[in-house]
A = this chain, B = another copy of it.
Amino acid sequence: MARPAPAPIDFWFDFSSPYSYVASEWIDALAARHGRTVRRHAILLGATFQAAELKSPVSYPLKREYSLHDFARSARFHGVPYAPPPVFPIPTQNAARVFWWLSDGQGGSETGSAAARWSQAGLRAVFTQGVALHEPAALKAFAAAQGLDADAAEAAWSDPAWKARLKQANDEAVAAGVFGAPFFRIDGEPFWGNDRLPQMERWLAGGPF
């Protein structure tokens, strides 16, 4: 009997989270090195912050200055391009609703899926080209450039059904203990932050430590 495939790595992100962008660039390779796939979850950090009574690090003056510096340095450390977006943070509910529309309609959100490609491309657009995904016209143009039906995408992000789907994703994230992004679970074990890569690598290679 063949061994069952190991479970995918769950990866929660917000399209306006710089550390999620950096993690989005390494997570697929990390998973592949250990025979895993990645299951992505688009969420609104604002919703998880509210549930956890937290705020964004950039909402605190002293922490903001360091964080903006560390976003760029962490991208350089991981060898990925980075350009601070002109508006930051941005509301990302429309991009996230399109993610769930793609996920539910086109075979889920695991590695290689349409939703996974939308996730990676959207994060790259925000953090390397400053694309204003919060502006409907820019989001439509971006959807078209990704090969999607832009009118259908706009209809989806305006549809109460996909608004409810995103809300459900936020609620599920909070229930799963997610209070920030990127957030990961590997076989249930939680890892928070782009900087947990070394611990995740050890866990995947050798199991619980």
Contacts and interface: CB of A to CB of B under 8 A. Distances in A.
Nearest to A51: B62
A62 B179 CA distance: 7
B198 A198 contact: yes
B53 A60 contact: yes
A74 interface: yes
A180 B202 CA distance: 27
Contact of A63 (B52, B76, B196): B52
Given A54-B60, A66-B179, A77-B202, 8 more contacts: A53-B60, A53-B61, A62-B177, A66-B177, A66-B190, A73-B199, A193-B195, A195-B196
Interface residues of A, number: 29
A196 B69 CA distance: 13
A63 to B, nearest CB: 5
A202 B51 CA distance: 37
Nearest to A195: B195
A135 interface: no
18 contacts: A51-B62, A52-B60, A52-B61, A52-B62, A53-B60, A54-B60, A60-B179, A62-B174, A62-B177, A62-B179, A63-B180, A69-B190, A70-B192, A73-B199, A73-B209, A77-B199, A195-B195, A198-B198
